[in-house]
Structures are given as C-alpha cells and as structure tokens.
Amino acid sequence: MIPRKLFSPEHEDFRASFRKFLEKEVLPHHEAWEERGYVDREVWQKAGENGFLCPSMPEQYGGAGADRLYSMVMMEETAKARTSGLGFSLHSEIVAPYLLKYGSEEQKANYLPRMAKGEIIGAIAMSEPGVGSDLQSVKTSAVRDGDHYTVNGAKTFITNGWNADLVITVAKTNPALGAKGTSLILVERGMPGFERGKRLKKLGLKAQDTSELFFDNVKVPANNLLGHEGQGFVYLMQELPWERMQIAIGATASAQQAIDETMAYVRERKVFGNAVASFQNTRFKLAELQSQVQMARVFVDHCMSLLLAGELDAPTASMAKLNCTDLAGRVIDECLQLHGGYGFMWEYPIARAYADTRVSRIYGGTNEIMKEVIARSMGLGK
C-alpha cells in the first residue's frame, strides 16, 4: 500500500501508546459498557492522565499544543479497535475547539483544563425531535432576563449526553431572525431544570451514551453565552468541516479494519475442504475493496493536509464525509458476507462494525445534506 507520509515518527509513537491504552483500559470493559449503554467516567480520567484528551488545545489550557494529526491517530485507532463507546473525539475536537475559538478568557480557563484532565465531560446539543439536520429550525429558546438566560426546549441524539457536565446548547435568542437569531449557551450539570431523559437504545454504538436532554426554565448566567449573541449558526457552519472530516477518518479506518479482519478470517475458514481465501470470488472481492479504501485513505490524508494549512473548505469536507461513509457501508457489508453466517453473530467484530458504521451516513449532517452542500458549491440549486 502507499506509504502514509502524513505522520511523523512521533505520531506513530503516540499511536502505539494510545493502542496500548485501549488494550489495557478499554477493551476489557467494552462489552459490559455495551450492555449498560455508557462507559465508566473513570476511563475519561485515565485518558486525561495519559494526555489523550484535548491534545490540540494550547498548553496554557491543559492541552499539549499538538497538531490535529495526533487526534486523527486516536480516531483511527478507536475505529480499528472497535471501541465505539468512547466519545473522546467529540469532547476533544468538537466541544473544546468551540470553547477555544469563541469562548471568553474566563470560560477557557474554567473549562478547558478540566476537560483535558477528564474531570468534566463535554457535549454539544444540536439535534431536536422533528428537526434533524435542519439547524436553522431549532425550537429551543434562550430568553435574556437581566443577568441570565432562561432556556426551554428539548434535544435528542446527544452523544456524551448522559455523562456530560458541560453542554454547548444551540438555542434561539431571537426566533424572529431565524438563523441570525441562533446562539450557543453553555449549560452545566446541576443547573435546576436541566434534566437528562432516557439513554437511547441504538442499532449500533451501544456503549456510547446517547441521550435526550430537557430544559425547563433553566436559568443560565449571561456570561455562559459562548461568543456573541446571534452568531451561533455562523460558528456551527465554521466548525462543521472538521466535524465531518472526523467522521470520514473514522469510517475509512473502520473499512480498512474490516478488510484486515476478513483477510484473517477467510484464510482460516474452510469450505468444501478449501480455505475461503482460495476462491477467486474472495480474492477479487477483497482486491476491489482494498483498492477503493486505499483511494479513500489518500483523499482523507490530502484533506487533512488542507486542514492543517487552513485551506479545507466545507464542500471538500462534505465530499470526504459522503464518499468515505458510503464506501465504509459497502465494504463492511461485503466483508460481512464473506464471513457467512458467523458474520451475523455479535461476537464477531464485523457484526459490530456493520451496526456501528451505519450511523456515519446520518450524523454530522446526513449524506443527502452533503450532496446539497456539494451541489451548491457547483453553482447548482438555491
């Protein structure tokens, strides 16, 4: 395969270290977490102690000041290990960057060091019942009343929602202005009226705590406004390309892992006295899949180079998300087929991958939305 020049020896050393962390602190517990529906908070604290949370945050806020390739390494290894319960990337590379870019000095100093240590867990609440990918139509409101906002509404499908101590909440501070009336409010665990609903039972990502959130006259201090009032939609649009790249990274790594797992399986599994790998259909199918994943990986690496240079735009990130997640679905489906009946058994990693990867075409904006973003960049549509 084509050598990956994106990573330095230091990145690869970090990869080996994180892989050991997963083997020691995560894999022995992951099945139990799947049964329960959320991971132990202790694993967050251990991740913080080992420098695996918020590595791209500046050192003054508890991070390592590292480039985002270190986070990419963790996303890839998490996907390869099938440890989908960990919500580290959302915490470290979605929530923390919002705070760093748009937060006040007081907010950054208060939250980021504790996030880096795993003392508090972050989430972002965008999706609402009946709204889905249409962020302009959120109904949750935040009404200014003197020195606080009163927040009312409901959110759903919130990753890290059950464990979260800090939730960036998308709300309308001026509904009459539509998207221009959207703001981001920092809601904290323990604020009266802020409640978690049931943990949602999902097709995949069973160990990842995904919850409903409810806001009933929650009084939030006015200084918990993130950035400027009315700028929330702009902030969301600026950060979505990186979020979509994270999904593309995980999907591509998951697809490659599926091929690697299937290669091992077909060499051992015998049918009619011969290894499944000896049949032409098996060889040709895996060759086809590997070629497609290799092309996806090259594109993802190119996009990451653009990101590091500050040149990645929304349409290109949408192309990565669209193509890599669609491809992962096809690859994992074909690999499951090559496992035969065993591929349908939950004890086999390919079954978990099949269930876990399906949502990648939905969250972060559905793939239909990705097509709309790309089409508009081509001068098509509205």
Note the Cα 327 to chain centre separation in Å: 18
Q: What is the DSSP letter of 187?
A: E
Residue 35 falls in the annotated catalytic set: no
User: Is 167 in contact with 123 (CB distance < 8 Å)?
Assistant: yes
C-alpha 285/C-alpha 291 separation (Å) is 10
Token reading at 370:
């990705």
- Exposed, middle or buried by CB within 10 Å (0-12, 13-18, 19+), for 185? buried
Residue 57 in contact with residue 116, Cβ under 8 Å?
yes
Phi-psi region at 339: left, alpha or beta (left = phi > 0; alpha = psi -120 to 50): alpha
Q: Helix, strand or coil for residue 177? A: helix
Instruction: Give kind and range of the element (H or E) at residue 306.
Output: helix 280-308
Encoding tokens for residue 16?
């080996």
Q: Distances in Å between the alpha carbon of 129 and those of 133, 212, 216, 290? A: 11, 9, 16, 39
Q: Which of 243, 261, 268, 334 is catalytic?
A: 243
Q: What are φ and ψ of residue 191, in 5° steps? A: -70, 130
Query: How do beta strands 166-172 and 122-125 pair?
Result: parallel
For 356: left if phi > 0, alpha if psi spans -120 to 50, otherwise beta; the answer is alpha
Asked whether 252 and 324 are in contact (CB, 8 A), the reply is yes
Residue with tokens 């705070």: 99
Write out the H or E segment, with its range, that includes residue 345: none
Q: What burial class does residue 120 get, using C-beta atoms within 10 Å of its C-beta: 0-12 exposed, 13-18 middle, 19+ buried?
A: buried
Cα-trace Rg, the chain: 21
Active site residues: 243
